[in-house]
Amino acid sequence: MRDFSTDHSALALNTASLGHNLDGHGAGWSPERVIDACAARGFGSVVFWRREIGSRAVEIGERARATGLSVAGLCRTPFLVGTDAVDEAAVLDEAKASIDMAAGLGAAVLTIVVGGVHPDTKGTTESLKIVTDRVAALAPYAAERNVKLALEPLNPVYAGNRSCLTTVRDAVDICEAVDAPNLGVAVDVYHVWWDSGLDAQLQRAGKDRIFGYHLCDWLADTRDVLLDRGMMGDGVADLRAIRAGVEGAGYAGPCEVEIFSANNWWKRDPGEVLDVMIERFHSLC
Amino acid sequence: MRDFSTDHSALALNTASLGHNLDGHGAGWSPERVIDACAARGFGSVVFWRREIGSRAVEIGERARATGLSVAGLCRTPFLVGTDAVDEAAVLDEAKASIDMAAGLGAAVLTIVVGGVHPDTKGTTESLKIVTDRVAALAPYAAERNVKLALEPLNPVYAGNRSCLTTVRDAVDICEAVDAPNLGVAVDVYHVWWDSGLDAQLQRAGKDRIFGYHLCDWLADTRDVLLDRGMMGDGVADLRAIRAGVEGAGYAGPCEVEIFSANNWWKRDPGEVLDVMIERFHSLC
Q: How many residues does chain B have?
A: 285
* pLDDT value of position B272: 97
- What's the whole-number average pLDDT of chain B? 96
pLDDT tens per residue across span B90-134: 999 999 999 999 999 999 999 999 999 999 899 999 999 999 999
Contact residues, B window 97-116, toward A, CB-based 8 Å cutoff: 116
| Contacts A169 to B, Cβ<8 Å | 196-197
Contact residues, A window 20-79, toward B, CB-based 8 Å cutoff: none
Distance of CA A42 to the CA centre of its chain: 21
Chain A residue with minimal CA distance to B242? A123
Which of B128, B156, B221 lies closest to A160 in CB terms? B221
Q: Find the mean pLDDT for residues B267-280.
A: 96
Q: For chain A, give the percent of residues with pLDDT over 70.
A: 98
- Is B23 a residue whose pLDDT tops 70? no
* ipTM metric: 0.96
Q: How buried is B283 (Cβ within 10 angstroms: 0-12 exposed, 13-18 middle, 19+ buried)?
A: exposed
- What's the whole-number average pLDDT of chain A? 96
Entry pTM: 0.97
- Is A115 a residue whose pLDDT tops 60? yes
Cβ-defined contact of B122 to A237 (cutoff 8 Å):
yes
Cβ-defined contact of A196 to B156 (cutoff 8 Å):
no
CA–CA separation, B29 vs A97, rounded Å? 57
Task: Identify whether the C-beta of residue B230 lies closer than 8 Å to the C-beta of residue B259.
Answer: yes
pLDDT tens per residue across span B42-76: 999 999 999 999 999 999 999 999 999 999 999 99
Residue A155, chain B, CB below 8 Å: the answer is yes
* pLDDT value of position B22: 57
Three-state secondary structure call for residue B139: helix
Q: For chain B, give the percent of residues with pLDDT over 90.
A: 96
Q: Find the mean pLDDT for residues A52-60.
A: 96
* pLDDT value of position B28: 83
Distance from CA of A220 to the nearest CA of B (A): 4
Alpha helices (H) in B145-264, listed in sequence order? 168-178, 189-192, 198-205, 239-248
Per residue in A123-136, is it b (16+ CB within 10 Å) or e — as a string? bbebbbbbbbebbe
- Is A78 a residue whose pLDDT tops 70? yes
Q: Find the mean pLDDT for residues A113-131.
A: 97
Site from B84, B120, B122 to mutate, A interface, most A CB atoms within 10 angstroms: B122
Cβ-defined contact of A122 to B238 (cutoff 8 Å):
yes
Task: Identify whether the C-beta of residue A183 lies closer than 8 Å to the C-beta of residue A132.
Answer: no
- Is A63 a residue whose pLDDT tops 60? yes
Q: How buried is A233 (Cβ within 10 angstroms: 0-12 exposed, 13-18 middle, 19+ buried)?
A: middle
- Is B149 a residue whose pLDDT tops 70? yes
- Is A27 a residue whose pLDDT tops 90? no
For residue B225, the 8-state DSSP code is T
Residue A119, chain B, CB below 8 Å: the answer is no
For chain A, domains (ranges, CATH) are 11-284 (3.20.20.150)
pLDDT tens per residue across span B175-218: 999 999 999 999 999 999 999 999 999 999 999 999 999 999 99
Distance from CA of B277 to the nearest CA of A (A): 19
- Is B148 a residue whose pLDDT tops 90? yes
Chain A residue with minimal CA distance to B218? A160
pLDDT tens per residue across span A188-247: 999 999 999 999 999 999 999 999 999 999 999 999 999 999 999 999 999 999 999 999
CA–CA separation, A93 vs A99, rounded Å? 10
Enumerate long-range contacts of A85-89, CB under 8 Å, 24 or more apart.
A85/A115, A85/A118, A86/A118, A86/A119, A88/A134
Within a 13 Å sphere around the CA of B1, how many CA atoms are in the beta-carbon half? 13
Site from A121, A194, A228 to mutate, B interface, most B CB atoms within 10 angstroms: A194
* pLDDT value of position A204: 98
Task: Identify whether the C-beta of residue B136 lies closer than 8 Å to the C-beta of residue B181.
Answer: no
Residue B261, chain A, CB below 8 Å: the answer is no
Cβ-defined contact of A123 to B236 (cutoff 8 Å):
yes
* pLDDT band at residue B21 using 50, 70 and 90 as cut-offs: low
Residue with the larger pLDDT of the pair A20 and A132: A132
- Is A23 a residue whose pLDDT tops 80? no
Size of interface A-B (CB pairs under 8 A): 111
pLDDT tens per residue across span A147-196: 999 999 999 999 999 999 999 999 999 999 999 999 999 999 999 999 99
* pLDDT value of position A28: 83
CA–CA separation, B122 vs A285, rounded Å? 12
Q: How buried is A252 (Cβ within 10 angstroms: 0-12 exposed, 13-18 middle, 19+ buried)?
A: exposed
Q: DSSP string spanning B188-201?
A: EHHHHTT-TTHHHH
* pLDDT value of position A24: 65
